[in-house]
Chain A
């Protein structure tokens, strides 16, 4: 198995594969894969001895974990609203997306009104610790 950088030669197979993929055909285009800027987002083709198996795109995402106080004051609501805007501005240069997990319906509704999208179908893989944690 090997990985290679994409080229314009990948546009046609991408077009055909996206059209055959019911999960992507309505929402995705070949440019999503071909235009990945290095650093914040990168794409590769994954190949075996018979040719290309699939395409992978990796994006830098700012993952947040947030602890709120138990008292839901007006001061807190204003703080959350301000933070929700400020963090997007601060993250823009280095990240494609900000993401966090919530099971609070009230918080989800509050942030959906401010441009955040609820995506309950995500799944996540925890990377095992390395030297950085020691």
Chain B
């Protein structure tokens, strides 16, 4: 497989692919999203350089937390500040997103703090 920086022709082709993608159009994804600045755009091609897949890659921070079971109220009190600090940390690292996998009641709490649902698929690198 050959990887290259997308050409204008690649972008036009990707635009046509996007128009016919029911999942992405329903999610409101645009061509600008696929070639957003601050990210690395890649066109994966077959051995004859025919485009196969358009890819955008960027750094995200995956956050895990272990709470003190004896101090839920003290923890809740600082949660907003911690999210702001995580945002700042992520920005300093050049990350565009913070990703978490909350359990139990933490899900609702995280949504109230501004996180949005994400149907993830991942593999260790």
Q: Which residues of A contact B (CB under 8 A)?
A: 1, 3, 13-14, 17-18, 20-24, 28, 32-33, 46, 48, 50, 52-70, 75-76, 79-80, 82-84, 86, 88, 91-92, 95-104, 107-108, 111-112, 115-128, 130, 132-133
Per a CB cutoff under 8 Å, which of A46, A83, A127 touches B78? A46
Asked if B119 and A67 make an inter-chain contact with CB atoms under 8 angstroms apart, the answer reads: no
Tell me the minimal C-beta distance from B98 to chain A in angstroms. 4
Asked if B87 and A99 make an inter-chain contact with CB atoms under 8 angstroms apart, the answer reads: no
Q: How far is the CA of A88 from the CA of B123 in the complex (A)?
A: 8
Once A48-B74, A122-B100 are accepted as A-B contacts, the answer to whether A132 and B94 lie under 8 Å apart by CB is yes
Per a CB cutoff under 8 Å, which of A18, A48, A111 touches B121? A111
Asked if B46 and A125 make an inter-chain contact with CB atoms under 8 angstroms apart, the answer reads: no
Asked if A48 and B78 make an inter-chain contact with CB atoms under 8 angstroms apart, the answer reads: yes
Asked if A17 and B67 make an inter-chain contact with CB atoms under 8 angstroms apart, the answer reads: yes
Asked if B116 and A124 make an inter-chain contact with CB atoms under 8 angstroms apart, the answer reads: yes
Question: How many residues does chain B have at the interface if contact means C-beta atoms less than 8 Å apart?
Answer: 82
Q: Which residues of B contact A (CB under 8 A)?
A: 1, 13-14, 17-18, 20-21, 23-24, 27, 29, 33-34, 36-39, 44, 46, 50-69, 71, 74-75, 77-78, 81-83, 85-87, 89-91, 93-104, 106-107, 110-111, 113-125
Tell me the minimal C-beta distance from B112 to chain A in angstroms. 11
Asked if B124 and A97 make an inter-chain contact with CB atoms under 8 angstroms apart, the answer reads: yes
| 6 smallest beta-carbon distances between A and B, as pairs | A23-B103, A122-B120, A79-B52, A99-B122, A70-B20, A63-B60
